[in-house]
Chain A
Amino acid sequence: MGFNVRRIGIILTRELTSYFATPIAAVFIVIFLLLSGSFTFYLGNFFPRGQADLLPFFNFHPWLYLILIPALSMRLWAEERKEGTIELLFTFPLTLMEAVVGKFLAAWCFTAIALALTFPIWITVNILGNPDNGVIIAGYIGSLLMAGGFLAIGSCISALTKNQVIAFVISVMVCLGFILSGFPLVLDFFSGWAPDFFVSLISSFSFLTHFQAISNGVIDVRDIVYFVSVIGLWLFATAIVLEMKKAE
């Protein structure tokens, strides 16, 4: 399988700089900042609440990521497979897993940059009041982990198809399933026939549950294990899918 960190670093820098060489970076970052800002201050009732915290800000992240991250991940593999540049990629001395991890990390770093650029909101809330900054740091960590989860799912689905639109729509559906898995919308699908422990197992797989737990200010090892295992699972699945598609 091979896991040369240097080679992953090379792919990472190559992909990351390619994001900024195109309008992708500007459009994505500006839209993300605009939306997260407006949602926080208008839809999130930031001012009427009168509380010095960033809960309205973080509450929208799952939904922002739901649309924006599949847009980022859809081009990870679908474009390469369609254009045929995937063969070119593998002429480099690079193992499959390194390529998968490298591309994922590049997209994740890019998302981290977009997230970091929301710091003016953090400064704002500190000027206006006296918030609990530890809770805010926890919120950012949780948000970054959740973004990684969405990205890993998107990466796998983008490897399944050559069509970016299909990759986008299906990623949104699967991510929605993960977000909503604690809601009756998904649970009722299983509660009719599945055993009890299975249903509560499904509900513990909701992104929202773990993200909200972290946003409270407490980082439980179980939440970290959850997000890391989600990312690991889907990246591994990406590699398996790519391997399978190699023959075709």
Chain B
Amino acid sequence: MSQTLGMEHMSKRLLTGTSLGMVALLFFAVNVLSNVAFKSARLDLTEQQLYTLSDGTRKILANFEEPLTLRFYY
């Protein structure tokens, strides 16, 4: 009788441990995935739109001629 109860207890622990492990893995997976997938999904709440590219910048970027030459004067 006690032997079967012992087995029950052990398999319940195994189930708990496995569940917790799976959930932790899911957590890692979700975060790694979101890090890769959501690279530019942001909501800029600043009043001056500090973290958003302005239309002027976008126009400049659209008209780029590659390769780009940077000259430093110092």
Contacts and interface: CB of A to CB of B under 8 A. Distances in A.
A237 B46 contact: no
Given A247-B9, A247-B12, A221 B19 contact: no
Contacts of A219: 42-43, 45
A233 B44 contact: no
B16 A241 contact: yes
A201 B30 CA distance: 12
A33 B35 CA distance: 35
6 contacts: A135-B45, A225-B34, A230-B27, A232-B27, A233-B23, A241-B16
B19 A240 contact: yes
B16 A226 contact: no
Contacts of A243: 16
Contacts of B20: 237, 240
A153 B37 CA distance: 26
B12 to A, nearest CB: 6
Contacts of A17: none
Contacts of B48: 132
Most buried by A among B16, B31, B35: B31
Contacts of A237: 20, 23
A243 B16 CA distance: 8
B31 A221 contact: no
Interface of B: 9, 12-13, 16, 19-20, 23-24, 26-28, 30-32, 34-35, 38, 41-48, 50-51
A222 B30 CA distance: 10
Contacts of A220: 38, 41-43
Contact of A221 (B27, B34, B47, B50): B34
Contacts of A232: 27
Nearest to A244: B16
B26 A217 contact: no
